Structure 1
Amino acid sequence: MTAQFNDIVAYAGADWSLAGVDGGDLFDPASQGLRVRAASTACWRGFVCRYELRDNALYLDGLDVALEGEAPPLLGKVPREPEMALGFTAAYEGIALHVPFSGGLLLARDFLLELYVHMGFHPAWKYAHVLEVELEAGRISRVTDCSKPMADIRSHVAGIDQPGPGSSHEEIQAWVERAFSRKY
């Protein structure tokens, strides 16, 4: 399998990878009637969201998506051709949809390339800078810098976070399931 494209969250003047989700649901294209298919092995979900945290709230700002069939307007926005096809069939910009998510988001940036694994979503501890943003009904309630705790986790698990030779089928299956989950 392949490492997956992360959703992006614009916050505090930077783009962050969405490395973890704890809580309710974020945006799902099916909620707007879009029939999504896998875009590629690097995007099995078939879509990548671009969120923005502004005015103390979470918004869906853009969406690249692989659709079955014709791309309809989404929330009044006409789709355009994606800049990087990569299996996507439509791109929507400027959506500005408030996302009433309740829970926590781990935002990460400055990925540590030496920790790259060609599988799933990379966990937050593989990044140099990590923030936990807690939200209630889509409004920011707290932001915590988790970079130091993630560095501590990294020092304990780097190099032993994947199955080795002789691992059982169950151990390998559990690792694959963890790799494709963003839950924390």
Structure 2
Amino acid sequence: MTGQVSDGLIYKSQIFCIAGVDGMGLFEPTQHGFSPQWGTTACWRGYCCTYKVIEETLYLKELIISLSLKEKLAKQGKAKDFLGVLPSRRNTPVGHPSAIYDELNHLVEFTGSLLVANSFIKNLYVHLGFQPAYKYEEVHELIFDSGYLIQSINRSEEMAEIRQKIIPKSKFYDQWHLTWRGKDGS
């Protein structure tokens, strides 16, 4: 399986990948009348979402969804709106004809925690599934109750400790580290 496109989250004016979910209430297309189809090997589930935290509240900002044949045929006549927004169509990471619903600002009543991450360490990429949080330099745990952010915890140091335990120290690693990071370690 190819590495998968992650959902995104805009938090404190930065774009993060959602690298872990423990909870319930994130967007599910089937609960809204969609039947997502896989579009590429990088998106087997057929859709990806971008969420945004605005004033400590979680919203669905964008939905990109690969269309079923039935939906494609129906859309030749009239596009289906979602939450009052009509889709645009363009090439997307989800693959063949996809509906893109922008600027939704739909409250998401998620309860639980999200691990959000950015600054992916490219050398740790594995061509399989979603990339885990420890493969990113910056990681935050965001804890929500019914869509409201109640706590944010920086988990970056813990992820660095996990990397140190998982990635064996070797000449190759040391050479990569010096090359990738610079000889001064920065």
TM-score (norm: length of structure 2) = 0.82
User: What amino acid sits opposite 2:86 in the alignment?
Assistant: V
RMSD: 1.5
Q: Is 1:9 equivalent to 2:9 in the alignment? A: yes
Q: List runs of 5+ in structure 1 lacking aligned partners.
A: 160-184
Q: Work out whether residues 64 and 82 of structure 1, in 8 Å CA contact, stay in contact via their aligned partners in 2.
A: no
Give 1:141's aligned residue: 150
Q: Percent identity?
A: 36
User: What amino acid sits opposite 1:38 in the alignment?
Assistant: W
User: What amino acid sits opposite 1:94 in the alignment?
Assistant: E
Question: For 1:9-158, what aligned pairs fall within 5 Å after superposition?
Answer: 9-68=9-68, 69=71, 70=75, 71-84=79-92, 86-158=95-167
Q: Work out whether residues 64 and 88 of structure 1, in 8 Å CA contact, stay in contact via their aligned partners in 2.
A: no
Give 1:110 deviation, angstroms.
Answer: 0.2
Give 1:11 deviation, angstroms.
Answer: 0.5
* Structure 1 runs of 4+ with >4 Å offset: none
Give me the whole-angstrom Cα distance separating, in 2, the residues matched to 1:87 and 1:7.
18
Q: Work out whether residues 115 and 158 of structure 1, in 8 Å CA contact, stay in contact via their aligned partners in 2.
A: no
TM-score (norm: length of structure 1) = 0.83
User: What amino acid sits opposite 2:11 in the alignment?
Assistant: Y
81-90 vs 125-134, which moves further: 81-90
State the SS of the aligned residue for 1:37.
coil
Give me the whole-angstrom Cα distance separating, in 1, the residues matched to 2:8 and 2:167.
24
Give me the whole-angstrom Cα distance separating, in 2, the residues matched to 1:15 and 1:45.
21
Q: List runs of 5+ in structure 2 lacking aligned partners.
A: 169-186
User: What amino acid sits opposite 1:82 in the alignment?
Assistant: R
Give me the whole-angstrom Cα distance separating, in 1, the residues matched to 2:45 and 2:167.
27
Q: Work out whether residues 46 and 88 of structure 1, in 8 Å CA contact, stay in contact via their aligned partners in 2.
A: no
Choose 1 or 2 for highest CA Rg: 2
**Aligned residue pair count:** 160
Post-superposition CA distance 1:49-90 (Å, at most 9, x none):
010011111000001110111351101000001353623511
